[in-house]
A and B are shown apart, each in its own frame.
Chain A
Amino acid sequence: MTVQVLVKPNTYIDSVSLMSLSTKANQIEIVEQAIIAMGTEMNKEVIRNVGLMTPEVESAKTSDLVIIVKAASEELCEGAFESINELLTKKKDSSKGKSEVKYSTITSAVNGIPEANLAIIAVNGSYAPREARKALENNLHVMLFSDNVSIEDEIQLKTLAQEKGLLMMGPDCGTAIIGNVALCFANAVRKGNIGIVGASGTGSQEVTVRIHEFGGGITQLIGTGGRDLSEEVGGIMMLAGIKALEEDDATKVIVLVSKPPAPSVEEKVLAQIKQCKKPVVVWFVGGNEEKVTQAGGHFAKMSKEAALKAVLLAGADESKLNKRALNLPLIEEVRAKLNPEQKYIRGLFSGGTLCDEAMHIAMEKFDNVYSNIQREPEYRLKDVRVSQDHTFIDFGDDQFTQGKPHPMIDPSTRIERFIQEAKDPSVGVIVMDFVLGFGAHEDPVGAMLPAIIEAKQVAEEEGRHLEVIGYILGTELDSQNIEGQINKLLASGATHASSSQNAGLLAREFVVKGE
């Protein structure tokens, strides 16, 4: 191993960028270890303690940025420095915006681009309503990525949008596809004749990806934000979204995605479905089939089912579709491998709705299903750091993301938890999602791979079989190379599930005993 050091004199990088840079530097494949820190005496002491002190580090000043790389050879170290420098330069370049005009305010952007009709807003929640209001007043549709916006502000903004005939997607809306352009977190999918209104980001992503896989395509994916179907907000944007898609000639079928709405909102949504001239598929996680059917909607209990119904209603030939049935022999095989005490599933998810779906599937057979997003207070984890019986964790929830990037970008918190869960002898199955697409991590499976390999080895040495299920949410059009991601997953000894629905079903069936 070789240790090489680069000292950048008088370089101040704000802590957020420094953390992100450090995380990315440690993910460079050839790097054994990378340290990026200010050259203070105390940091030098830490560096000395971990055995990476060199004369260059010793002579660095408190205002110098120290970059240390440990790799197999000098050449590899040099290569790593190049990559780190690229990351530094990329940050500078992107902040300068070489070929783009950058506007500091919505008003200046509206003046500069009069043809613009949509604003994406991602500022601190305290300022977000003001900016969203400005955008709406300038006749722009809004996608409000920011969270921590009060419900009162949300109602006011959505009412204003409604009055002006505009979409107000969000707050806390991270997924949309408008005019075949993916916004924030979304997958690259085919253009088609199915429109979606979604109150949940990864749930909507999953439906778009399955529709794409079944050969269908998307007209628009309108995000509403997770609180839209609450009693207070009253589903203003879901109702507006259904109306917009009904009036859109290109849309033949509408799919609604959400967690269960407040009862009064559900009534309004169902009443609108009843009047809608186009077929509407409803996937409300944990939803009620009877009510949907009575309203003339097409009920879907799970995500793949929703996508399948949508493509069939849109004209697909069922006989030509590969529905990817569950691998029943595999279920028998895994059940036989698990020790009697390996009773529990641990779901570690970066996507909230993917977590919710897997959790609901487990709840159909087990009573003891705990989560940080459980709606039943009795089954809500008291300490999110400690799992209990069957546990499903959404790492994208606020408890894990305050001041940290979302797990779809930074997998570190989930990796730590995976290692913890893998050591638990009562765990039979760990199920995880890996989300690809715009805005997501470049190599989510790769980041988890060493932990999976090691955990499986350790379990084997202890006489246990640890079953790891991975579901990769993505299409062949996404930049991350889905085939490569699947191959990596399989090479680690994990099981690849072909959909979110199948991931949940496999996890549940693997630990069901004696059936």
Chain B
Amino acid sequence: MRLAKYGDGDFIQRIIHHKFHGFVHSTFNRTLNIQCLDSGDLYTIACKGIDNAPNTLIIDLDSFEEADVVVNDNVSSDHSILTIANKMSITLDGAMKWNCVLPIYPAETDVLKMNVFTMKQYINLHGNNSRFERAFKSGNPFDDEMSKMLNERTQLLVLELQNKRMSTAITHATSLIGLGPGLTPAGDDFLVGLFTVFNIENNRYFSHKSFCEEVVLHAKPLTNDISYMALAKAAVGLVRESISDLMEALFRGSEEELKLSLRRVLAIGSTSGTDIALGIVAGLEMNM
């Protein structure tokens, strides 16, 4: 029996108070994605060391490599026990609940302005080979074209948002979804960062946050299920703990605290963290 150590509060409630029926959607060394048969939503079982996230349960396991769980294995729940095809049982007794709460935009923005400047410099030096950053430099035609399109489209999106032309902004945002070779395409990651800022209370664009949900309405056929879930959650202000921590550090943290939080975000995926961070910077700069 495995122990769930932490988990998204809503996910824990769903398992304990309702019967959960689903199947394994995809498996990785350190995460399993489960598709819920009732809602179609994806939920994640993650190993130790991965940060809290929407729809995610962190369990006391280092790796799934030896768990023998395969795609399409049945998943069901009985009270506080989640079972994966008789191969793994996870008890939720004692699991600490986590819910994403984004901080409020600060009234005084001096610290924020300084931190955004520091963050941009840090990304520049330590960013993880982002497709945005390496525009036209790789010598590989596919990579170069991809970088070019990402740059052009993000610039157009930001311009339209700055001018509050929301309908054309939706078109440009939609043109980013699914753009990027990886599991979570760079365009999607950028939007996750941007959506995070839109969902910060008291920011200049908070009244326009329905923009995010409208973009997500177009997203389903344009990207894969895993990335879609991240976009859908970010659109309503639900993001990974490392991202909400970064927002807090940006608003009120010292340079050291900012860099500590930023490093955790930059470590997401191979390039995803950097692309998310660039989306956050774009969103915050629109506010300044």
Q: Write the residues of chain A forming the contact surface with B, with a CB cutoff of 8 angstroms.
A: 10, 12-16, 18-19, 22, 26, 33, 35-38, 40-43, 45-47, 49-50, 52, 62-63, 95-96, 102, 104-105, 124, 126-127, 148, 384, 398-399, 402-404, 412, 415-416, 419
A52 to B146, CA, bound (A): 14
A12 to B227, CA, bound (A): 11
Considering only CB atoms, which chain B residue lies closest to A419 in the complex? B139
Main secondary structure of the interface of B (DSSP, over half): loop
A374 to B224, CA, bound (A): 46
Residues of chain A lying within 8 A (CB to CB) of residue B29? 14, 95
Residues of chain A lying within 8 A (CB to CB) of residue B263? 148
Query: Are B141 and A50 within 8 A (Cβ)?
Result: yes
Given contacts A13-B183, A402-B127, 15 further A-B pairs with CB under 8 A are A15-B269, A16-B270, A40-B222, A41-B221, A43-B181, A43-B185, A46-B179, A50-B141, A105-B62, A124-B49, A124-B267, A384-B125, A398-B126, A403-B266, A416-B139
- Give the top 6 A-B pairs by smallest Cβ distance, nearest first: A403-B128, A40-B178, A37-B181, A42-B179, A15-B182, A42-B178
* A46-B145 contact in complex given A14-B269, A95-B65, A104-B66, C-beta closer than 8 Å: yes
* A42-B175 contact in complex given A15-B272, A18-B182, C-beta closer than 8 Å: yes
Query: Are B65 and A15 within 8 A (Cβ)?
Result: no
**Complex interface residues of chain B between 117 and 151 (CB less than 8 A to chain A):** 125-129, 137-142, 145-146, 149
A62 to B26, CA, bound (A): 14
Contact of B126 among A43, A95, A126, A399 (CB under 8 A): A399
Nearest CB in chain A: distance from B185 CB, A: 6
Q: Write the residues of chain B forming the contact surface with A, with a CB cutoff of 8 angstroms.
A: 26, 28-29, 49, 61-63, 65-66, 71, 125-129, 137-142, 145-146, 149, 175-185, 187, 221-226, 263, 266-267, 269-274
Contact of A15 among B49, B183, B187 (CB under 8 A): B183
Residues of chain A lying within 8 A (CB to CB) of residue B177? 40, 42
Residues of chain B lying within 8 A (CB to CB) of residue A45? 149, 179
A388 to B139, CA, bound (A): 24
Considering only CB atoms, which chain B residue lies closest to A384 in the complex? B125
Residues of chain B lying within 8 A (CB to CB) of residue A415? 139
Nearest CB in chain A: distance from B190 CB, A: 12
Contact of B179 among A33, A43, A50, A124 (CB under 8 A): A43
Nearest CB in chain B: distance from A330 CB, A: 31
Query: Are A404 and B128 within 8 A (Cβ)?
Result: yes
Residues of chain A lying within 8 A (CB to CB) of residue B66? 102, 104
Residues of chain A lying within 8 A (CB to CB) of residue B63? 104
Query: Are A403 and B182 within 8 A (Cβ)?
Result: no
Query: Are A416 and B185 within 8 A (Cβ)?
Result: no
Query: Are A19 and B266 within 8 A (Cβ)?
Result: no
A416 to B63, CA, bound (A): 36
Residues of chain B lying within 8 A (CB to CB) of residue A38? 178, 181-183, 185, 224
Residues of chain B lying within 8 A (CB to CB) of residue A22? 181
A126 to B242, CA, bound (A): 14
Query: Are A63 and B129 within 8 A (Cβ)?
Result: no
Nearest CB in chain B: distance from A98 CB, A: 13
20 A-B residue pairs with CB within 8 Å: A12-B26, A12-B226, A37-B181, A37-B182, A40-B178, A40-B222, A42-B179, A42-B180, A43-B185, A49-B145, A50-B145, A63-B224, A95-B65, A102-B66, A124-B267, A126-B49, A402-B126, A403-B128, A403-B266, A419-B139
